[in-house]
Structure 1
């Protein structure tokens, strides 16, 4: 099942005896677990009702023994298990011996008084494993992937609304442009802005620009936007600001290379008929990053992007071999690119 359905079931007090939570969006996964704990465990029962394990340190036999043991002095308990061994793909580097057949047997007859939750911080599960197939057949697997661009915006608007503050779409988009798509960082910045706005207030665009610093990678997004629009002055000003923040030209060059390369990939995949969601999966990017990259890529031809990547490769070599002073070399590239044709 997807995260939306899982949150809905928790809200309706329909909690399954087993969950296998996996995916790269740790914020949503943690929020789901917190909601479940709030629903099932009284605050005064937390010490007795919550048991934590890690399959890298504890045998599965011990975990299942705990799950099969009746709760003590509390009506029910939750067993939380961090797992990089049982459900995930890849080589098992753990020295702990596990017997998956114990878990398979438990899945057939889980305890009514226990909720067993496996937390797998991997993009995918190992579909070849019997325990994965069985968990899917039981509808116990919950996927926590990155939110789509419109979902991320709605999540920000709702977070502000829950705090009785107003947040407009344009302001939310600027917040994402400055912070990036990490939901932990976005939540912290949104809460800070809501505090600044005050009860019943509005989070303004000016407040975002004043109070929220732009992360380095987001600055590079902005830098490529200025180059795409042939706004040389703005690009150079932004570059000087980054140098004042002691950002290394070599690091900035590497980030530029990655962004121009992603633009090229997005154009090529778009020509092959890939959807934005498929592109995000193929490139390992957040869907919102694919959206912004696609918008930037439209201002460059594939040939132009290939030329720029070649020029950046030559500049990288020249900077690392001392043939050109690093800060000056990148500045000259920006001047040339920003004043050239973007077609």
Structure 2
């Protein structure tokens, strides 16, 4: 099942005895575990009612032994297992021997007073393994993939509403542009803005611009936007601001290379009929980043992007070999690129 369905069932009190939760969105995965803890174990019982393991250090026999042991002094027990061995394609440590068949037997007849959760920080489970096929035949697998752009925006609006504040869509969009797609960082910045707004207040665009600093990678997004729009002066001003923040020119160059390369990938995949979600999976980007990158890519021709990548490769070599001053070299590249435009 997907994350939405898992949260919905949890809210309705339907809890499976065994879960295998996986995906790359760690914030939602952690939130699901927190909700499980709140549902199953009282705060004063957490020392006795929650047990943690890692399959890189603990054999599955020991984990199953714990699962088969009745809770002591508490009505129910939650076992949390971090795993990159049993359900994913991670390599087993030679120090730990696992017997997956023992776990498979337990999953067929789990203890009612225990909820066993395997947390797998991988995009996919290893479908070749019998254990994975067995667990997927039930209702215990939950996928936590990155939210789509509109879902991420709605999540921000809902988080503000939950704290008794209001937030408009343009404000959420600006927050995403400044912070990026890391849900941990977005949650922290949203909570800060809600605190600033006060009870019953509204989070404003001015508050976001004055209180939320632009992350380096988001500044590089902005830099490429200014170049595409032929706003050379704005691009240079932004570059100077980054230097004042002690950002290393070689690091900025590497981020520019990555962004122009992603733009080229998106442009090529789009011409082949790929959907934004397919592109996100293919390139390894968040869907929101694909959306922004696609908007920028439309302003550049494929030939221009390829030329820029070649020029950046030459500049990288010149900067690292000392043939050109790092700060000046990147500034000259920005000046030249801004004056020539995106075509």
Q: Can you list the C-alpha shifts for 1:13-40, whole angstroms capped at 9, x where unaligned?
A: 0000000011111100000010111111
For residues 190 and 120 of structure 2, what CA distance do their matches in structure 1 show?
Answer: 28
Alignment of 1:155-170 (within 5 A): 155-170=155-170
* C-alpha separation in 1, matches of 2:295 and 2:176: 15
Map residues 1-343 of structure 1 onto 2, 5 A cutoff. 1-343=1-343
**What TM-score do you get using the length of structure 1 for normalisation?**
0.99
CA contact (8 A) 2:54 2:82 kept: yes
Counterpart Cα distance in 2 of 1:184 and 1:341: 36
Separation of aligned partners in 1, 2:262 and 2:42: 48
Q: Which moved more, 1:252-261 or 1:70-79?
A: 70-79
TM-score under structure 2 normalisation?
A: 0.99
Shift of 1:327: 0.6
Any idea what SS the aligned residue of 1:116 has? strand
Q: Over aligned residues, Cα RMSD in angstroms? A: 0.8
Q: SS at the partner of 1:5?
A: helix
Query: SS at 2:16's partner residue?
Result: coil
Structure 1 residues 94 and 176, CA gap change in structure 2 (3 angstroms): farther
Structure 1 position 85, deviation (Å): 1.1
The 1:226–1:288 alpha-carbon spacing in structure 2 relative to 1, beyond 3 Å, is same
Conserved in 1, the CA contact under 8 Å of 2:228 and 2:300?
A: yes
- Identify the range of structure 1 (125-134 vs 91-100) with the bigger mean alpha-carbon deviation: 91-100
Using the TM superposition, give the Cα deviation of residue 47 of structure 1 relative to its aligned residue in structure 2, in angstroms: 1.5
Going from structure 1 to structure 2, the CA distance change for 1:141 and 1:33 (only over 3 Å counts) comes to same
Unaligned runs of 5+ in 1: none
How far 1:57 moved relative to its partner? 1.3
CA contact under 8 A between 2:22 and 2:125: conserved in structure 1? yes
Q: In structure 2, what is the Cα distance between the partners aligned to 1:277 and 1:326?
A: 37
Could you list the runs of 5+ residues in structure 2 that have no partner in the other structure?
A: none
Task: State whether residues 87 and 120 of structure 2, in contact with CA within 8 Å, keep that contact through their aligned partners in structure 1.
Answer: yes
Moved over 6 A (4+): none
Q: CA deviation at 1:238?
A: 0.1
Structure 1 residues 278 and 11: CA distance shift in structure 2, 3 A: same
* Structure 1 Cα separation of the partners of residues 111 and 309 of structure 2: 58
- Give the distance between the partners of 1:135 and 1:114, measured in 2 at CA: 17
In the TM superposition, what whole-angstrom CA distance separates every residue of 1:276-308 from its partner, at most 9, and x where no partner exists?
000000000000000000000000010111111
Deviation at 1:94, TM superposition (A): 4.7
